[in-house]
Amino acid sequence: MNALEGIKVVSFNHFLMGPAAMQTLGDLGADVIAVEPVGGAFQRQWGGGNRKVDGESLLFLCANRNKRSMALDLKSERGVEIARKLVMGADVVAENFRPGVMDRLGLGYEDVKAENPGVIYAAASGYGAGGPYVNRPGQDMLIQAMSGLAAVSGDDEDGAHPVGVSAVDHHGAMILAMSILAALINRNRTGEGCRIDVNLLSSAIDLQMESLTCYLNGPRPETIRHPKHSGGWMFPAPYGAYNTKDGQLVLSFADMPTLAKALDTPQLAEFTNEETFPRREEIIPIVQGALLKRTTKQWEDILTEHKLWHAPVNDYAALEKDPQVAFLGSFEIIQRSTETPLTVVKHPVQYNGKVPPVRLPPQPLGAQTAEVMEELGYAREEIEQLAADGIVGLGPTAE
């Protein structure tokens, strides 16, 4: 899928939200030039689980395919000069520095727009371009806490609980990519460029749209924490996750007489469907007690027979073996110039039955610096001198 072929994206992004959004654009065919410091961006230096593959962090490797790498010292005047030449020929300029940093470098929206009026300038931040929190650090777990996501994910017994992944970063990345695509369509129609502002806090709030709409309309609940085993503060019983004899499964919405029959628990039939929310704290322990009597597989067969919505709780080992995941081809093994193959999560969409290919695996730092600079009109001798002066990093040749 090369829907964005011919679109040049210059990315000054670090951490996860920005790089993941730019990876999506790269997957769709855009020429994404990822600009990093000569010493490498943060995501090359740190990754979860203290794991690296052939010296590269997993945080970097998960969100940097289909990009060219350029190493550039933006703390130097000459480095900023090179960056300015780069952005003036870009269709999209994207950055997630703290608000004001790009303006101080002379690379802010107004600076770029003055010479490149059709530019799509996408700025991502923790809290937006202004406001009382503008200078606070914006990081996924901090945003989960502030946005209510950690609280709504917790239960009455244990309190707040952050989601086990960087959910806000990932959702924010999709919003960032979507907004850039919308702006490109508008430019194609009107010829006008656009400034886009995406922030993690708004992304976290958007991620809770159903829950917040329920909370903000009508009587307010005393708490948004939910009873143990329940799937959320606004859901009726038996909606939630339960232990079985040998594992866990989740139950979705269920008709109480049918559930009573399936679980062989007549006591459940005493509750009407209308009582499943107000009396869920009575219902949930009964359901949990019943499910402990059989294995997950046994319950899957029984619940399927009674047409009750359910699913086993997969850990990652089980997910990897799941036949539907295998059918979708969600994981792909790619080969880099290093010895160890890399397994990545593929682009999540099929276009005419095909997923966009990995044209470039995550690149070594500065692998395409010389190539990009030659495209900007720099001679090879000048590039080598800039490298010797520490203004750019050349890195190895492209893979």
Q: What is the pLDDT of residue 313?
A: 97
Residues 6 or more apart whose CB falls under 8 angstroms from that of 181 comprise: 25
Q: What is the pLDDT of residue 336?
A: 86
**Residue 20 contacts residue 63 (beta carbons within 8 Å):** yes
278 three-class SS: coil
Phi and psi at residue 373, in whole multiples of 5°? -70, -35
Asked whether the predicted pLDDT for residue 394 surpasses 80, the reply is yes
First vs last C-alpha separation in the chain: 21
Domain boundaries, the chain: 8-206+350-393
**Residue 59 contacts residue 371 (beta carbons within 8 Å):** no
pLDDT single digits (tens) 198-208: 999 999 999 99
Percent of the chain clearing pLDDT 90 (strictly above):
92
Q: Beta strands 120-125 and 194-199: pairing type?
A: parallel
Percent of the chain clearing pLDDT 70 (strictly above):
99
pLDDT single digits (tens) 302-338: 999 999 999 999 999 999 999 999 999 999 999 888 8
The residue that leads in pLDDT, 339 or 91, is 91
Closest CA to 253 of 223, 230, 221: 230
Our measurement of the distance from residue 186's CA atom to the centroid of its chain's CA atoms, rounded to an integer in Å, reads 25
The residue that leads in pLDDT, 396 or 127, is 127
Q: What is the pLDDT of residue 123?
A: 98
Asked whether the predicted pLDDT for residue 161 surpasses 60, the reply is yes
**Residue 38 contacts residue 395 (beta carbons within 8 Å):** no
Q: pTM of this prediction?
A: 0.95
Q: Which CATH architecture has domain 8-206+350-393?
A: 3-Layer(aba) Sandwich (3.40)
Average pLDDT over the chain reads: 96
Q: What is the pLDDT of residue 399?
A: 53
pLDDT band at 396 (very low <50, low <70, confident <90, very high): confident
Q: What is the pLDDT of residue 3?
A: 95
Beta bridge partners of 11: 34, 94
* Residues 216-230, mean pLDDT to the nearest whole number: 94
For 211-262, give the DSSP string. Answer: HHHHHHSSSPPS-S-B-TTBS-TTPPTT-EEEE-SSSEEEE-S--HHHHHHH
Our measurement of the distance from residue 397's CA atom to the centroid of its chain's CA atoms, rounded to an integer in Å, reads 29
* Residues 45-66, mean pLDDT to the nearest whole number: 91
* Residues 145-156, mean pLDDT to the nearest whole number: 95
